[in-house]
């Protein structure tokens, strides 16, 4: 009964490269959330997705960042042309979002380091 799986665990990129972060939700969960944690800060909401739909992307930077959650396969958070300020821990969470089970289950995160 696997939890939320994120990979890679650590990702190192040079400025200008692309970063792709993957998230496989808990089996049966159709809602995925991405959060970013900068050093010494809390969890900042980025985007909320259901299968094939973006529900809320109000926390996503307008440029270079995109997210998807296809019908088949993991959710992907893509950061194009990374800059040093993108270095952070990126956490994915999933949920059923029904009244009996509102809580989020988190993955272990991807630590992105931009050189």
Partner 1 sequence: DQQVKQNSPSLSVQEGRISILNCDYTNSMFDYFLWYKKYPAEGPTFLISISSIKDKNEDGRFTVFLNKSAKHLSLHIVPSQPGDSAVYFCAASALGNQFYFGTGTSLTVIP
Which residues of the shown chain bind partner 1 in the complex (CB under 8 A)?
Answer: 4, 6, 33, 35, 41-45, 48, 55-56, 58-59, 91, 93, 97, 99, 102-109, 111
Alpha carbons 79 and 56: distance in angstroms, whole number = 18
HSE, side-chain direction, 13 A CA sphere, residue 107: 28
Among residues 5 and 76, whose Cβ is nearest to partner 1?
5
- Residue placing its CB nearer to partner 1 in the complex, 55 or 115: 55
User: In angstroms, what is the minimal distance from the CB of 73 to partner 1?
Assistant: 21
Could you give the CA distance from residue 54 to residue 8 in angstroms, rounded to a whole number?
A: 23
């Amino acid at each position: 009964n696997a939890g939320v799986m994120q990979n890679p665990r650590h990702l190192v990129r040079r400025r200008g490269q692309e970063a792709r972060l993957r998230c496989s939700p808990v089996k049966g969960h159709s809602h995925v959330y991405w959060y970013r944690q900068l050093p010494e800060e809390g969890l900042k909401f980025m985007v909320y997705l259901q299968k094939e739909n973006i529900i809320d992307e109000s926390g996503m930077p307008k440029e270079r960042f995109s997210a998807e959650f296809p019908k088949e396969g993991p959710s992907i958070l893509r950061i194009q042309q990374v800059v040093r300020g993108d270095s952070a821990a990126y956490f994915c969470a999933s949920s059923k979002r029904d009244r009996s089970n509102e809580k989020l289950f988190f993955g272990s995160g991807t630590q992105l380091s931009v050189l």
